[in-house]
């Protein structure tokens, strides 16, 4: 009996193991709409693939923790709009390994053993205003642990105005670790410390504000603006390289990266540190290799000593005067409005529209539409030659009117009209039955009634004749008797 139970348990375990294995191998969930994208928040451990470009205008992007795989499939997401940071917190460590329960925001607020790849986020506009608390922002993720970010692109502005003790802004991630590989960021990063009285820890980096990510083959263009009444840790790639928790050691790498740009900052602090370097501002643990000179830098460290005016992009232009240029979307890239200051040359982009092919009105019919089924037409992009097939609408029935005689030569009927006409002909098959029903039956009834009347009259005449005949016979009989 016991052995039977053991065998049963073994069978059940095998079934469950097979089931869970096939769930892992299952095809990714395909995403085609903003609603489907936002619904990832409800099932954050899933495996997803983006099937087309998405415009999130009008949607509020949720800040959530993602634990699955998201494959952007080379597609673009534009106009992501955030209003809040994550409810969930993660522990962050400052240079003294003091810990903070910290909130996050990014395309994914938190990545936990997750993979994000092949997604393009142009024109990111993530601005968290007047935040009270500890907070990090990043283009792909506010926080990442044991996660991989690969072949992703971010451009736009990420800004945090905050009253807290521990905060920062990064181009790809805010705080954390994992692998960041072959990513591109062209970002304006702004971090303003709103509390001038208390010293805090502020971080900023083109790839990561603080943490120990492995970074390989990334191309970063940074415009950094950092205003702090505390301790500044900033770098073109990483603000502070720190391995945590305490006593944890590992060998990492930062290699093959290309950095251009600048960080303009002030550190309002008599106990000055003012970390700002092209590569990594402060290094807590040198448990990583830079693989020789494989990183390429073109960077400007721009420290200011005036502490009463926060540093902002275009903040120093004396006479701002913008002109707008509309940059049309191409087959590959989104379009946008370019704002250029005529005084100083500073530029900003907004009003993004998705990349689009240029399809003419005409198409080649692959399958013709009928009254009940949609046909298929193939359009060819006039710019790149790409072909796409679209469903054609079903034909609309044309009401059949009595043809008006005309002396004008009539055009040959279009294909659609011919089809419609054919359809109407076959549709007219019910008319004979209707005619029989509405005219034939009443006529039959009338005929029957007339025939009945005629028979009754004939009978009456016959009876009358017989009665007359009988009377005559009786009369004759009486006469012969007399
Ligand atoms: Zn200007
Ligand atoms: Zn095209």
- Rounded to the nearest angstrom, the distance between the alpha carbon of 313 and the centre of ligand 1 is 10
Q: How far is the CA of 340 from the centre of ligand 2 (A)?
A: 28
Mark the residues whose beta carbon lies below 5 A from ion ligand 2: 331, 357, 381, 383-384, 386
Counting every residue written for the chain, the total comes to 482
Q: What is the pLDDT of residue 21?
A: 44
CA of 338 to the centre of ligand 1 (A): 14
* Best CATH choice for the domain 7-313 from the list 3.30.230, 2.160.20, 3.30.70, 2.40.350: 2.160.20
Residue 129's nearest CA partner among 154, 163, 157, 100 is 163
Indicate which ligand has the atom closest to the C-alpha of 317: 1
Q: Which residue has the tokens 């205008």?
A: 57
Q: Which ligand is in closest contact with the Cα of 330?
A: 2
CA–centroid distance, 223 to ligand 1, in Å, is 15
pTM of the entire structure? 0.75
Alpha-carbon distances of 225 from 129, 155, 370, 419, rounded to whole Å: 15, 16, 62, 67
3-state secondary structure at position 236: coil
Cα(225) to ligand 1 centroid in Å equals: 16
- Tell me, what's the pLDDT at 13? 52
In the predicted structure, residue 16 carries a pLDDT above the cut 90: no
**C-alpha 379 – ligand 2 centre gap (Å):** 10
DSSP 43-99: STTSEEEE-S-EE-TT------EE-SEEE-TT-BEE--------SS-EEEE-TT--E
Residues with CB under 5 A from ligand 1 (ion): 317, 320, 341, 343-344, 346
Return all residues near 284 (Cβ < 8 A) that are at least 6 apart: 95, 240, 241, 242, 243
The residue with greater pLDDT, 457 or 284, is 284
Report, as an integer, the average pLDDT of 412-428: 37
N-terminal to C-terminal alpha carbon distance within the chain: 129
pLDDT at site 434: 59
pLDDT at 286 (0 to 100): 87
**Average pLDDT rounded to a whole number, residues 182-187:** 98
Question: Distance, CA 320 to ligand 1 centroid (Å)?
Answer: 4
Distances (CA, A) of 175 to 143, 159, 185, 215: 5, 15, 16, 14
**What pLDDT shows up at residue 440?**
64
Q: For residue range 364-419, list pLDDT tens digits in order.
A: 999 999 999 999 999 999 999 999 999 999 998 877 666 555 544 444 433 333 33
Question: How far is the centre of ligand 2, averaged over its atoms, from the C-alpha of 381 (Å)?
Answer: 5
Q: Which ligand is nearest to the CA of 323?
A: 1
Tell me, in angstroms, the distance from the centre of ligand 2 to residue 154's CA: 23
> What average pLDDT does the segment 450-455 reach?
75
> Dihedral of the CA atoms 117, 118, 123, 128 (nearest 10)?
-10
pLDDT tier at 174, thresholds 50, 70, 90: very high
- Asked, as a colleague might, if the bond just before 245 is cis with ω within 30 of 0, I would say yes
Q: What is the mean pLDDT of the chain?
A: 87
CA of 167 to the centre of ligand 1 (A): 29
**What is the model's pLDDT at position 405?**
54
For position 416, what pLDDT does the model report?
38
Ligand 1 center to residue 349 CA distance, Å?
Answer: 14
Residue 461's CB is within 10 A of a number of other CB atoms, namely 10
Angle at CA of residue 96, ends 92 and 100, nearest 5°: 25
Q: Where in the chain is the domain with CATH 2.160.20?
A: 7-313
b/e 132-159 (16+ beta carbons within 10 angstroms → b):
ebbbbbbbbbbbbbebbbbbbbbbbbbb
Q: How far is the CA of 361 from the centre of ligand 2 (A)?
A: 14
- Find how far residue 55's CA is from the centre of its chain: 6
CA 254 to ligand 2 centroid distance, Å: 38
Q: Is residue 309 within 8 Å of residue 298, measured between CB atoms?
A: no
Q: Quick check: 198 pLDDT over 80?
A: yes
8 A C-beta contact, residue 237 and residue 267: no
Distance in angstroms (rounded) separating the CA atoms of residues 206 and 189:
8
**Among all ligands shown, which has an atom nearest to the Cα of 383?**
2
Answer yes or no: is pLDDT of 324 > 80: yes
């Amino acid at each position: 009996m016991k052995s039977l139970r053991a065998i049963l348990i073994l069978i059940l375990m095998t079934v469950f193991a097979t089931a869970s294995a096939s769930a892992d191998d299952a095809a990714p969930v395909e995403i085609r709409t903003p609603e489907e994208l936002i619904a990832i928040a409800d099932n954050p451990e899933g495996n997803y693939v983006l099937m087309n470009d998405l415009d999130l205008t009008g949607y509020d992007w949720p800040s959530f923790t993602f634990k699955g795989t998201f494959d952007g499939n080379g597609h673009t997401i534009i106009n992501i709009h955030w209003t809040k940071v994550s409810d969930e917190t993660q522990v962050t460590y400052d240079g003294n390994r003091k810990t903070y329960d910290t909130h996050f925001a990014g395309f994914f607020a938190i990545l936990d053993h997750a993979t994000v790849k092949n997604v393009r986020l142009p024109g990111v506009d993530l601005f968290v205003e007047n935040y009270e608390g500890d907070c990090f922002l990043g283009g792909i993720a506010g926080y990442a642990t044991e996660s991989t970010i690969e072949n992703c692109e971010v451009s736009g502005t990420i800004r945090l105005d905050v009253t807290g003790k521990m905060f920062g802004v990064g181009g790809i991630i805010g705080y954390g670790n994992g692998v960041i590989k072959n990513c591109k960021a062209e970002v304006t990063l702004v971090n303003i410390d709103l509390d001038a009285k208390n010293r805090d820890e502020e971080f900023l980096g083109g790839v990561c504000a603080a943490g120990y990510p492995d970074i390989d083959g990334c191309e970063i263009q940074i415009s950094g603006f950092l205003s702090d009444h505390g301790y500044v840790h900033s770098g073109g790639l990483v603000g502070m390289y720190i391995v945590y928790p305490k006593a944890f050691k590992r060998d990492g790498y930062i290699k093959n990266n290309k950095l251009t740009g600048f960080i303009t900052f002030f550190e309002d602090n008599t106990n000055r540190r003012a970390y700002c370097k092209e590569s990594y501002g402060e290094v807590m643990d040198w448990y990583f290799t830079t693989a020789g000179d494989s990183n390429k830098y073109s960077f400007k460290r721009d420290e200011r000593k005036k502490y009463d005016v926060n540093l902002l992009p275009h903040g120093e232009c004396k006479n701002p005067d913008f002109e707008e240029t509309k940059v049309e979307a191409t087959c590959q890239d989104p379009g946008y409005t370019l704002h250029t200051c005529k005084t100083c040359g500073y530029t900003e982009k907004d009003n993004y529209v998705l990349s689009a092919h240029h399809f003419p009105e005409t198409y080649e019919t692959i399958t013709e539409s009928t009254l009940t089924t949609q046909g298929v037409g193939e359009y060819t992009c006039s710019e790149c030659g790409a072909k796409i097939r679209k469903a054609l609408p079903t034909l609309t029935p044309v009401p059949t009117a009595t043809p008006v005689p005309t002396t004008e030569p009539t055009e040959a009927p279009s294909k659609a009209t011919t089809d419609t006409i054919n359809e109407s002909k076959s549709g007219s098959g019910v008319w004979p039955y209707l005619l029989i029903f509405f005219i034939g039956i009443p006529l039959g009834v009338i005929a029957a009634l007339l025939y009945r009347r005629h028979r009754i009259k004939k009978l009456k005449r016959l009876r009358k004749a017989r009665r007359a005949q009988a009377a005559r016979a009786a009369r004759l009989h009486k006469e012969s008797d007399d």
